[in-house]
Amino acid sequence: MTDLIAAAAGAAGVFTATNLDDVVVLTVLFVASRTHGRPRPWQIVGGQYAGIGALVAVAVTAAAGLLVVPDPWPGLLGVLPIALGVRALRKRADDEAPGAVVGTLFGVAGVTVANGADNIAVYVPVFRALDPLTGLVWLLVFAVLVAVWCAVAAGLGGHPRVVSLVGRAGRWLVPTVFIAVGTTILLTSGVLPHLAAPVT
């Protein structure tokens, strides 16, 4: 029992450390849902589960030696939130509801995967070291914490001050958040020096 508790605590710590930035993105999405109806709450939750599930599946597969994830190339996924943010900024006010950067479950999942691509580098060695039972505990903890993350973000997204801020500045604030997330992914993943390196 002690081992399982320790495993759950370890899983919670790793999930928290690698997904803190998701709270910001999720909050923005819940505000957009509350004020403009897109994406719907179930799409946000479903997309978050799908995105985290995809990241974990890749990590588990790589940990089993069935897949090679070339580091740091997953960092190129940072282009996705940048593209979504730029597209939203370019939309005219009468073409798109302010703040509606992502409007579907698949869009939310895509942003989640892009935002968590660097998590794979952490997850692979961890899952490689876990026995099946401990791995199952980790997966259950991750599943529970996704729900917690969504609940926290939904609460923040319903706060009057947050809603008011995004309502006033949503036209540029929400896309800017996405662009900032994507830029951070590109800069911290180390993929840009690889792109700039001369081909030998």
Q: Where are the domains of the chain?
A: 2-188
Task: Give the tens place of pLDDT for each residue, 26-60.
Answer: 988 898 888 777 889 999 999 999 999 999 998 88
Report pLDDT for 196: 66
Q: In which band, very low, low, confident or very high, does the pLDDT at 97 lie, cut at 50, 70 and 90?
A: very low
Does position 67 have pLDDT exceeding 70, yes or no? Answer: no
Report pLDDT for 45: 95
Does position 69 have pLDDT exceeding 80, yes or no? Answer: no
Mean pLDDT of all residues in the chain?
81
Report pLDDT for 103: 75
Task: List Cβ<8 Å contacts ≥24 apart for 151-159.
Answer: 152/23, 153/22, 153/23, 153/26, 153/27, 153/29, 153/30, 153/44, 154/26, 154/30, 154/41, 156/23, 156/27, 156/30, 157/26, 157/27, 157/28, 157/29, 157/30, 157/31, 157/33, 157/34, 158/30, 158/34
Q: In which band, very low, low, confident or very high, does the pLDDT at 70 lie, cut at 50, 70 and 90?
A: low
